[in-house]
Amino acid sequence: MTDSPHISTSQRLFESDAPQALAAATFLLAGFALARQHELLGEIEQVLRESPLRHMQTPGGFTMSVAMSNCGALGWVSDRKGYRYTPMDPLTNAPWPVLPSCMQQLATEAAALCGFAGFMPDACLINRYAPGTRMSLHQDKNEVDYSAPIVSVSLGVDAAFQLGGMQRSDKPLRIGLQHGDVLVWGGEDRLRFHGVLPIKPQHHPLMGPDRINLTFRKAG
């Protein structure tokens, strides 16, 4: 027995191109990134050569367990001064790497399939989870315009994603996310709390023990 509703990827009845609605404006595109996984991983590797993954500081002075980098005109950063988007990578003192075309097209196409035509991300946050790493419940609210959706791509080992409500105390729905899955959310769900439960030790043929998550946003 689990203590929350559970949609497991192994229990999916079918995989299709049709978005699966998880809430009013939250959709799962199961396996949508698989067709371009190799091109995608190549682009990520190139971005991370330019702006490496790093463990950022929280405003409260803790070190984040998820390693992060960015590409696109704006990148999400956290340090003692707070959470925000910046045009420059504070580690390299150079602009963030350009958003590669395969990544941008994936995000634009996924958003359009879910009813968000014309989504043009200006920021892509790259998160790397090692085994045992989690992301506690949070809202994404550092973006200027909440009318744009967020497109989230999962790569590597499986994760249990928590889709909460508008209050931190709302009981989250648990969603199994696998390599190649894409989540799109926006509209009335844009400010839902969400998180990732601790990553279990696993092995993925392309990614080893790690999970990488890309989140594409219109940040500025």
Q: Which residues bind ligand MD6 (CB under 6 A)?
A: 127, 135, 140, 150, 152, 161, 183, 185, 194, 196, 213, 215
Q: Could you tell me which stretch among 2-10, 29-37, 89-97, 134-142 binds Fe ion (CB under 5 A)? A: 134-142
At closest approach, how far in Å is the CB of 93 from ligand MD6?
27
Give the other-Cβ count within 10 Å of 41's Cβ: 17
At closest approach, how far in Å is the CB of 212 from ligand MD6?
9
At closest approach, how far in Å is the CB of 161 from ligand MD6?
6
Q: Which residue has the tokens 């229990």?
A: 11
- Nearer Cβ to ligand MD6 (96/216): 216
- Nearer Cβ to Fe ion (179/190): 190
Q: Could you tell me which stretch among 31-39, 42-50, 133-141, 184-192 binds Fe ion (CB under 5 A)? A: 133-141
Residue 104, H or E segment: helix 101-113
- Nearer Cβ to ligand MD6 (51/178): 178
Name the token pair of 187: 């509209």
3-state secondary structure of 93: coil
Contacted entry of Fe ion, ligand MD6, none for residue 150, CB cut-off 5 to 8 Å set by kind: ligand MD6
Task: Give dist(CA 91, CA 104) in Å, integer.
Answer: 24
Residue 177 CB burial class (10 angstroms; 0-12, 13-18, ≥19): buried
Instruction: Residue 215: name the closest of 31, 44, 79, 38 by CA.
Output: 44
Contacted entry of Fe ion, ligand MD6, none for residue 135, CB cut-off 5 to 8 Å set by kind: ligand MD6
Binding of residue 43 to Fe ion (CB under 5 A): no
Task: Give dist(CA 123, CA 66) in Å, integer.
Answer: 18
Contacted entry of ligand MD6, Fe ion, none for residue 183, CB cut-off 5 to 8 Å set by kind: ligand MD6
Identify residue 114 by its one-letter amino acid code: C
At closest approach, how far in Å is the CB of 101 from ligand MD6?
22
Identify residue 163 by its one-letter amino acid code: L
Binding of residue 140 to Fe ion (CB under 5 A): yes
Ranked by CB distance to Fe ion, the top (closest) residue is 140
Task: Give dist(CA 118, CA 109) in Å, integer.
Answer: 9
Q: How many residues bind Fe ion (CB under 5 A)?
A: 1
Task: Give dist(CA 168, CA 172) in Å, integer.
Answer: 9
User: Which residues of the chain form contacts with Fe ion (CB under 5 A)?
Assistant: 140
